[in-house]
Amino acid sequence: MLEAPIPENEKERIASLRRMLLLATPDEAIFNRITRIAQQFFNTQIVLISLLDENRQWFKSCVGLPVRETPRNISFCGHAIMQDDILVVEDALDDERFRDNPLVTGDPMIRFYAGRPLRNFEGHKVGTLCLIDPAPRTLNFSERLLLDDLGHLVEDAFVVRELKRRHQEVLDFADESIRDSYLDPMLNIWNRRAITSILEQEKARSERDGNPFSILLLDLDRFKQINDTHGHLIGDKVLASVTSLIVNTLRPYDHLGRFGGEEFLVVLPNTSQQEAISVAERIRAHVAEQGAWVAGSQFGVTVSIGVMGWSPAVHALELEKLLQGADDLLYASKRGGRNRVSAVA
């Protein structure tokens, strides 16, 4: 038997899996619906959403198997996460990697296996959506496509679950009557007070978990000219249009707040500085390409952005210095010609 190999990024992968707070949790309908649909369509005896922990594979959702975990070293899923596409074993008895595996020679008597690797919101392969049957079979092209689609649904569920958890943490800092005062009334995003509080929470989480985060400080270029030429009413609508572009470019778990008149602060959880530069560049390019649409007219608009990363393993800047650094980089983008992203080399 060939034991399940260990990925090169195993330490980071396990840390990311555990940050999901998904191991050893009760059944959740959002995952069970997917395994039930898969079992009905593929007509296999077993369907699992398997998470690969350090020494075990634990089943977040399980159809057709009376146990909730098995040793990782004998897992088929441990092999599946080593590749990017679906691992298909048509007959385990004909596969030298698995023919003497205890899961083949004993219960549940695996002959057929198909495992689609699952990535979490940080991009790590944390487990699989897998089909198992005691009879050999094949997986045709259309079945592969459907299994891949269902895998995407599981990954979407990971994001939705994390988004709910983080939003709840944000909302927990104040009751509903106070939260109204934390929203910008014109743009319906967090105001300076709220986004600063969220930044403080993210720094505390980073110090606790040891993972990085980053911030972006954005400013609309030559916004004063729009106000002076077209008036403040049009200027407000341009600002709202650009806000929508930024919201639609960010990931579900990122946080956007209005930091000043036409200045925005973005907090990017679990994001290195290099990753944050990519996010900032997407925002910059999207705004430059789309511009702002007001009453059927397009206004050419660009943004300048300063990027700062924070990691407890590298440095421990106070928030004031972190914000000042982002502000200095924002104005470096302005001095460099605008419509730019600047970060510390």
Give the DSSP letter of residue 55. Answer: S
Structural fold of domain 174-343: Alpha-Beta Plaits (3.30.70)
Count of residues making up the chain: 345
Q: What is the pLDDT of residues 95-136, one digit of tens each?
A: 999 999 999 999 999 999 999 999 998 889 999 999 999 999
How far is the C-alpha of 272 from the C-alpha of 108, rounded, in Å? 42
Domain 10-167: homologous superfamily in CATH: GAF domain (3.30.450.40)
Does 35 score more than 70 pLDDT?
A: yes
- Percentage of the chain with pLDDT > 90? 70
Average pLDDT, stretch 297-308? 94
Sequence ranges of the chain with CATH classification 3.30.450.40: 10-167
* Complete DSSP assignment for 173-232: TS-HHHHGGGB-TTT-SB-HHHHHHHHHHHHHHHHHH---EEEEEEEETTHHHHHHHH-H
Cα torsion 151, 153, 154, 158: sign: positive
Q: What is the pLDDT of residues 44-64, one digit of tens each?
A: 999 999 999 999 999 999 999
- pLDDT category at 25 given cuts 50, 70, 90 is confident
Sequence ranges of the chain with CATH classification 3.30.70.270: 174-343
Q: Tell me, rounded to whole angstroms, the distance of Cα 244 from its chain centroid.
A: 20
How far is the C-alpha of 289 from the C-alpha of 300, rounded, in Å? 9
Cis peptide before 252 (omega within 30 of 0): no
